[in-house]
Structure 1
Amino acid sequence: MTHEEHSMLTFALRWLPYGGGDEHLFPEFGLLPSAFYQRLQTMLISRAFLGIDFATRQRLLEQCALKLATTAEPTNPKRRGMQIA
């Protein structure tokens, strides 16, 4: 695990009980919430982390999925009621 990955995981674990701490992501990591949660989700799925129990890992994955679903931008602006000039 890289230093950045370790920092991201530590941050996510610290803020998990409080809903994520999204307002601190850009100052801390230079990432928008969608990028942070995408990277965290990828790390959690693709690697086994020592010291993180299954239940905590699942809670983190659930939070990532929720955050990504709420920050997702539709690819078609007409779906949001926007008009294209």
Structure 2
Amino acid sequence: MTHDGHSMLAFAIKWLPYGGGDEHLLPEFGLVPSAFYQRLQSVLIQRAFLGIEFATRQQLLEQCAVKLASATEPIRRERKGRRERKGIQIA
């Protein structure tokens, strides 16, 4: 794992009990939350053994999924609104 991967993992574990520490991501890593959680999720999925407990890994994966889903929700609503304004049927 790269140094960045280790740093991201350590940060995520530290902030896991507090909801992620999203406000610190840009100054710490130069990443917006969606980019951070995409990269963290990739690190967690690609590595079979990271030296962390299984439960912690699962919690981090769940947090990534929640954060990424909430990041894309405004985009989905905006696209839906545009389609409705154009008169496109939405199933």
* TM-score (ref. length: structure 2): 0.81
Structure-2 residue corresponding to 1:12: 12
Listed one character per residue, the Cα deviations across residues 17-47 of structure 1 (whole Å, up to 9, x for unaligned) are 0000000000000001000000000110111
1:21 matches 2:21 = yes
Normalised by the size of structure 1, how large is the TM-score?
0.87
Letter paired with 2:78: P
In 1: Cα distance, 2:11 partner to 2:59 partner: 14
Gaps of 5+ in 1: none
Aligned pairs, how many? 82
CA distance in 2, matches of 1:15, 1:42: 18
Stretches of structure 2 that go unaligned for 5 or more consecutive residues are 87-91
Which protein, 1 or 2, shows the higher relative CO under an 8 Å CA cutoff with sep ≥ 6?
1
Structure with more helix by fraction: 2
| Residues 1-85 of structure 1 aligned to structure 2 (within 5 Å) | 1-72=1-72, 73-74=75-76, 77-79=78-80, 81-82=81-82
Following the alignment from structure 1 to structure 2, what is the Cα–Cα distance between the partners of residues 47 and 25? Answer: 22
Larger radius of gyration: 2
